[in-house]
Homo-oligomer: A and B are copies of this chain.
């Protein structure tokens, strides 16, 4: 059993079960008839830095889901040299480093197009954060939701769209901030 194959099988298992298999389950997964074979295989994965043992000796997926980050790619003219500096990004940690309760919204419309937020994009909103000038916020103005840049000048809040075809909103009646946009996620099909 090659390490690469083992890694893929562990990933698949984890994706479905959201946990690592026990050594007995690994034996089934890897096609061993002895738990010990799995035990030895895992020892190698630990040595390779893919897995690790936590506080209480429990197996943890240290780098099992770290997607290789191959570097920076220039989206202008082709990049002179593509240095493959191998960071690894753990998507889970990358996006989930928020303490409080966050939520998703799906964007429709084009008023934030100049901020590179378009139709169908999912935005993650952190309702616990207080908006600073220039933050993008989900706001409830006069009982209606909208996504805009947030600016506070002389005590008055302006909600500025990232599209010249739309007007700046100066909330009159009520303004409630749904939260600050902390992330944008787009998925192509």
**Interface status of A141 (Cβ within 8 A of chain B):** yes
| A135 CB to nearest B CB, Å | 7
- Contacts A72-B108, A107-B73 given; indicate if A67 touches B144 (C-beta within 8 A): no
**Which listed residue (B74, B79, B108) contacts A75, Cβ 8 A?**
B108
Q: When chains A and B are docked, how far (Å) is the Cα of A92 from the Cα of B90?
A: 11
Is B17 a contact of A75 with CB atoms below 8 Å? no
Complex copy number for this chain: 2
Residues in B whose Cβ lies below 8 Å from that of A123: 73
Residues in B whose Cβ lies below 8 Å from that of A188: 135-136, 180-183
| A46 CB to nearest B CB, Å | 14
**Interface status of A44 (Cβ within 8 A of chain B):** no
| Per-residue B-contact encoding for A176-189, CB less than 8 Å = 1, 0 else | 00001111111110
12 more A-B residue pairs beyond the given contacts A72-B108, A78-B142, A183-B185, with a C-beta to C-beta distance below 8 A:
A18-B60, A69-B122, A73-B107, A74-B111, A75-B108, A76-B111, A82-B144, A91-B95, A95-B185, A116-B116, A116-B121, A183-B188
